[in-house]
């Protein structure tokens, strides 16, 4: 039986990925320091090891695959721990690459659309080199991920880890998210569910695209089984403004009004993946829009409040 390590596997995406790997017949080990876990935690059926990728404990190998997702992921989390975020991206990724060397494992890095910064090109193709303001507060996350990618390609170039995969994830939402992780979908839904007005930063014209978690996990699964070693964008190219998102959520949960606050520093104005590469190389594209993805997400957050 194949064995996989999922770092960050007690978090939103890592948990959903670990569940998929268990379903595909893998034995799964989760390494997570529980700094921002999903309320649902590491999945049943996986072996859970508490610890940081920065100073990893002994892990019950062998591993055929390492899915490296451990990282602070939402702005409130990484802005509160900029050095820890950089260390996770740099030292943590190096430790996991060294582990891949010793186990001769295939290594998948969870990178991000944030490597494109506040993009001057729209939509963002993988060949776009990005526009990150290195002195901005968000740079701890963006540059950590850029470094993690560069390090992964360096290990590959030096033939230390021949099997690498790099996924650049665009905003993803769905059951398993932490209600307080500060991402816009969870913020809006939880504000609406508790009768508070929704908070929009800026005038709400900035756009994002939102991918439902099941689509994203399918893309990661396909990428990890493919022979594609170049970075691949995974996300939903359907673009909408924060105001449109707020209206859509208000329609499905209840209208509680909108508050406008100043836009944070270096907040990208537009973000939409070019998914041509994922379509061509993986035969992947999202199948679930907000109409399908929001109801189970709202139900999930409602169940946390009722619990």
Ligand X SMILES: NC(=O)c1ccc[n+]([C@@H]2O[C@H](COP(=O)([O-])OP(=O)(O)OC[C@H]3O[C@@H](n4cnc5c(N)ncnc54)[C@H](O)[C@@H]3O)[C@@H](O)[C@H]2O)c1
Least Å distance between CB 61 and ligand X? 17
Environment class of 60 (CB within 10 Å of its CB; exposed 0-12, middle 13-18, buried 19+):
exposed
The verdict on 43 binding ligand X (CB under 6 A) reads: no
Task: Figure out which of the listed residues 29, 49, 110, 234 binds ligand X, where binding follows CB under 6 A.
Answer: 110
Least Å distance between CB 55 and ligand X? 9
Least Å distance between CB 8 and ligand X? 3
Choose one: 35-43, 96-104, 129-137, 263-271; the region binding ligand X (CB under 6 A): 35-43
The verdict on 93 binding ligand X (CB under 6 A) reads: no
**Best CA proximity match to 252, nearest among 179, 171, 189, 186:** 189
Cα 101 vs. chain centroid, distance in angstroms?
24
The verdict on 38 binding ligand X (CB under 6 A) reads: yes
| Shorter beta-carbon distance to ligand X: residue 98 or 197 | 98
Q: Are 256 and 191 in contact (CB under 8 A)?
A: yes
Least Å distance between CB 255 and ligand X? 26
Choose one: 4-12, 155-163, 244-252, 253-261; the region binding ligand X (CB under 6 A): 4-12
Task: Figure out which of the listed residues 4, 49, 59, 73 binds ligand X, where binding follows CB under 6 A.
Answer: 73
Choose one: 21-29, 65-73, 243-251, 255-263; the region binding ligand X (CB under 6 A): 65-73
| Shorter beta-carbon distance to ligand X: residue 118 or 256 | 118
| Shorter beta-carbon distance to ligand X: residue 3 or 271 | 271
Q: Could you write out the DSSP letters of every residue in the chain?
A: --EEEEETTTSHHHHHHHHHHHHTT-EEEEEE--SS--TT-SPTTSEEEE--SSS--------SEEEE--S--SHHHHHH-HHHHHHIIIIIHHHHHHHHHHHT-EEEEEEEGGGGBS-SSSSBPTT---B--TTSTTHHHHHHHHHHHHHHHHHHHTTS---EEEEEE--EE-TT--TTS--HHHHHHHHHHTTPPEEEETTS--EEE-EEHHHHHHHHHHHHHS---S-EEES---EEEHHHHHHHHHHHH----EEEEPPPTT--S---B--HHIIIII-------HHHHHHHHHHHHHHHHH-
Mark whether 141 is an active-site residue: yes
The verdict on 174 binding ligand X (CB under 6 A) reads: no
Binding mask 121-150 for ligand X (x = CB under 6 A): ------------------------------
Task: Figure out which of the listed residues 6, 18, 21, 53 binds ligand X, where binding follows CB under 6 A.
Answer: 53
The verdict on 89 binding ligand X (CB under 6 A) reads: no
| Shorter beta-carbon distance to ligand X: residue 108 or 256 | 108
> Which one is catalytic: 78, 116, 141, 212?
141
Active site residues: 141
Query: Which residues of this chain interact with ligand X, rule CB under 6 A?
Result: 7-8, 10-14, 31-38, 52-54, 69-73, 88, 92, 110, 112, 169, 171-172
């Amino acid at each position: 039986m194949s064995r996989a390590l999922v770092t960050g596997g007690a978090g939103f995406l890592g948990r959903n990925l670990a569940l998929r790997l268990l379903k595909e017949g893998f034995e799964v080990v989760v390494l997570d320091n529980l700094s921002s876990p999903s309320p649902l935690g590491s999945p049943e059926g996986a072996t859970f090891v508490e610890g940081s990728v920065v100073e990893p404990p002994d892990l019950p190998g062998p591993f055929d695959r390492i899915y490296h997702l451990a990282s602070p992921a939402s702005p409130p989390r990484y802005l509160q721990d900029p050095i820890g975020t950089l260390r996770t991206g740099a030292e943590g990724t190096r430790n996991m690459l060294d582990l891949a060397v010793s186990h001769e494992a295939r290594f998948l890095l969870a990178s991000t659309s944030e490597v494109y910064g506040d993009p001057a090109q729209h939509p963002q193709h993988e060949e776009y080199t990005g526009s990150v303001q290195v002195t901005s507060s968000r740079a701890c996350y963006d540059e950590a991920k850029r470094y993690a990618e560069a390090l992964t390609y360096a290990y590959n170039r030096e033939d230390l880890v021949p099997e690498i995969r790099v996924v650049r994830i665009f905003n993803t939402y769905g059951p398993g998210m932490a209600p307080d992780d500060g991402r816009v979908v969870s913020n809006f839904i939880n504000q609406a569910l508790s009768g508070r007005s929704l908070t929009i930063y800026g005038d709400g014209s900035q756009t994002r695209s939102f991918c439902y978690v099941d689509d994203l996990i399918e893309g990661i699964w396909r990428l990890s089984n493919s022979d594609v070693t170049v970075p691949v964008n995974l996300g939903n190219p359907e673009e909408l403004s924060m105001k449109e998102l707020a209206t859509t959520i208000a329609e499905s949960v209840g209208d509680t009004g909108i508050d406008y606050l100043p836009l944070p520093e270096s907040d990208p104005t537009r973000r939409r993946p070019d998914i041509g590469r994922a379509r061509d190389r993986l035969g992947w594209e999202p199948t679930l829009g907000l109409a399908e993805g929001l109801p189970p997400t709202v139900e999930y957050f409602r169940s946390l409040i009722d619990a």
